[in-house]
Structure 1
Amino acid sequence: MLMHQGIGLDAFNALPERKAVHALYECCHCVTLAGDLAGGRPYPDHNSLFRRADALLFALSEQSVDAILQAYPCSVRPCDDSERAALRTAEDSYRDRFGFDYVMYVAGLCAPDVLTTIADRMHNDVETERKVVRNELAKINRTRLERMLGPEGGFDNW
């Protein structure tokens, strides 16, 4: 859960630098990315912030992306013990194959869906999978940034 939710773009643009970095870090789990996004304020609209976040994410080093991956456990709807074990095994195989952790925007998916996706992605080469990972991180960041900003104009409590 994010501490900063529904603050609105105007309030976000007006936050002191340190508070903006904190709010952004909650979304992207990268100090460099959060600092660069905060430094790019003011943003005229949500999409400008989202595009800038994507551009900065795709410009990060692989080492920075690997550090971000540590904050993104694969979380799916509750499943039984056999599905949990299958997920652990699949994620371990993925890590052994690619050398970094599996990440996926799972919004509402269940364990069998995630297992299928892991199996499909195991056919990628490392370079392709690195691109897929960044795309998945961009989806997650976008969702969290949308939650942080809330609707255009924010909520009345901010």
Structure 2
Amino acid sequence: MTTDPPPGLTRFNTSSDSAARAALHEVCASTAWGSALLAHRPYATTDALLAASDTATAELTADALAAAMAGHPPIGRPKPGDPTSAREQRGMAGASDELRAELLDLNLAYQDRFGHVFLICATGRTGEQMRDAVRIRIGNSPEQERAVVRTELGKINRIRLTRLVHAGE
């Protein structure tokens, strides 16, 4: 039995390069990542698209990884009017003022230490879990943190791509 690909995957596969590039940019701000995914269209399955994303994420240069991270707002401060960051950071919705202030301080300390936003796959995490993660990760070496960031970015990209290919179902 053959199953048809999700409508969003068919749309992605058949859309113009510029439309597909724009959709991918909403998933990840790295143009290198988006170009890598565009190069392998069409995708037979969602799993094939996700595997290509994993490969592209693993192969990002330091500059491309920095570009990807630049597209993410700090935890606790989703981009105004951006439903994606608001949805992903839903765990902060009921956070106390004290937790928000503590997370802001931790975010700033993290940025001072590593030179970029604290990136975590926030989907399904509480504000306390995100705070605890930044507390732990701020002690990482820059090399350890780059590896963790790459893993977290891969998780975020997978979630966003899955939403993209299942849109309209």
TM-score range, shorter-chain basis?
Answer: 0.7 to 0.9
Amino acid at match of 2:92: R
Assess if the C-alpha contact under 8 Å between 1:66 and 1:101 holds in 2.
no
CA distance in 2: counterparts of 1:102 and 1:84, whole angstroms: 14
1:80 corresponds to 2:96: yes
Q: Distance in 2 between matches of 1:20 and 1:43?
A: 13
Query: Per the alignment, in what secondary structure is the counterpart of residue 42 of structure 2?
Result: coil
2:71 aligned residue:
71
1:132 corresponds in structure 2 to: 148
Alpha-carbon distance in structure 1 between the residues aligned to 2:124 and 2:10: 31
CA contact (8 A) 1:17 1:39 kept: no
Q: Where does the alignment leave 5 or more consecutive residues of structure 2 unmatched? A: 1-5, 76-88
Measure how far apart 1:7 and its partner are: 4.1
Q: CA deviation at 1:123?
A: 2.4
Gaps of 5+ in 1: 1-5
Which residue pairs with 2:10 in the alignment?
10
CA distance in 2, matches of 1:80, 1:7: 40
CA distance in 2, matches of 1:11, 1:125: 42
% identity of equivalent residues:
31
- Indicate the residue corresponding to 1:21 in structure 2: 21
Equivalent-residue separation in structure 2 for 1:59 and 1:35 (angstroms): 12
- Residues 70 and 116 in structure 2, CA contact (< 8 A), matched pair in contact too: no
Normalized against structure 1, the TM-score is what?
Answer: 0.85
Scaled by the length of structure 2, what TM-score is found?
0.80
How many residues in Structure 1 have an aligned counterpart in Structure 2? 148
2:60 matched residue in structure 1: 60
Aligned to 1:123: 139
Could you say what secondary structure the match of 1:49 adopts? helix
What do you get for the CA RMSD once the two structures are aligned?
Answer: 1.7
